């Protein structure tokens, strides 16, 4: 995707969402380790399933990388089973934990690296793709990088016709070049998009109640269709 020559409208989108939903700025997790574990467990599943797995780890007092680095693989698989793909995810968690503990003595040492260096290293780890790496960098390491997820792709596609399958880094760049580089702002904007997708921009979108329907291509198109088909409009054209 070529560099955008004009503003897409992310700032207006963010401001409108912020007015509607308030300041969100989340990632469900109390510690850096918990955020990392959640970011790996949430791959290909929904958060409710992740919560069950996290609850199991918390109950066993194993919700930290130091414990996961030395845990028995079978035990970890059993505890995270609710999150799906549990064998694969157990291996990923253990690889990550051992890498961070043995190489840096924990994530604080690991996160001392610059953003790009850290990202490169994360992407070299077992099962860590761009979305997971960027979630870890933004929410656990507290460094400014924008996370692109399936919700973001869906919204950008419907609002501005940006191809759903566009390259991850092209989409990230589109957002980052318009939104001020700020960790809390990136966290909050991402959270706002997730909220929009959950409340309105679902698989079957609910455009009439959506706070950004006036700036959305799909929403405006649907509005025109509704007006065309309304009884009043039909009476006018009769």
How many residues lie near ligand SF4 (CB under 6 A)? 14
Q: Pattern 121-160, binding to ligand SF4, x per CB under 6 A?
A: ----------------------------------x--xx-
Cα distance between residue 21 and residue 191, in whole Å: 10
- Region near ligand SF4 per CB under 6 A, out of 43-51, 73-81, 171-179, 197-205: 197-205
139: closest CA among 19, 42, 13?
42
Residue 230, by phi and psi: left (phi above 0), alpha (psi -120 to 50) or beta? beta
CB atoms within 10 A of CB 182: 11
Closer of 159 and 171 to ligand SF4 (Cβ): 159
**Minimal distance, residue 20 CB to ligand SF4, in Å:** 11
| Tokens (6 digits) for 85 | 């793909």
Token pair listed for 209: 């109640």
Binding flags for ligand SF4, 217-236, as an x/- string (CB under 6 A): -xx-----------------
> Which region, judged by CB under 6 A, interacts with ligand SF4, from 64-72, 86-94, 186-194, 206-214?
206-214
Q: What is the total residue count of the chain? A: 238
Q: In the complex with ligand SF4, which residue's Cβ is closer, 38 or 205?
A: 205
Token pair in block for residue 79: 């505890």
In angstroms, rounded to a whole number, what is the distance separating the alpha carbons of residues 133 and 130?
5
Which residues form the interface with ligand SF4 (CB under 6 A)? 155, 158-159, 200-201, 205-207, 210, 212-213, 216, 218-219
């Amino acid at each position: 995707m070529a560099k955008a020559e004009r503003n897409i409208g992310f700032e207006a989108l963010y401001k409108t969402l912020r007015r509607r939903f308030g300041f969100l700025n989340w990632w469900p997790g109390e510690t850096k380790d918990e955020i990392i574990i959640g970011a790996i467990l949430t791959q290909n599943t929904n958060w409710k399933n992740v919560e069950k797995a996290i609850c199991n780890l918390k109950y066993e007092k194993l919700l930290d990388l130091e414990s996961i680095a030395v845990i028995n693989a079978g035990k970890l698989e059993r505890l995270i089973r609710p999150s799906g793909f549990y064998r694969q995810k157990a291996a990923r968690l253990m690889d990550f934990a051992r890498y961070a503990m043995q190489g840096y003595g924990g994530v604080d040492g690991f996160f001392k690296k610059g953003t790009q260096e850290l990202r490169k290293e994360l992407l070299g780890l077992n099962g860590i793709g761009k979305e997971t790496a960027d979630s870890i960098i933004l929410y656990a390491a507290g460094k400014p990088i924008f996370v692109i997820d399936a919700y973001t792709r869906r919204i950008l596609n419907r609002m501005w016709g940006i191809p759903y399958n566009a390259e991850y880094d092209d989409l990230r760049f589109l957002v980052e070049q318009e939104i001020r580089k700020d960790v809390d702002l990136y966290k909050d904007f991402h959270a706002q998009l997730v909220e929009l997708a959950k409340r309105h921009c679902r698989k079957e979108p609910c455009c009439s109640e959506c706070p950004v329907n006036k700036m959305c291509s799909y929403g405006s198109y649907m509005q025109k269709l509704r007006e065309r088909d309304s009884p009043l409009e039909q009476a006018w054209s009769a």
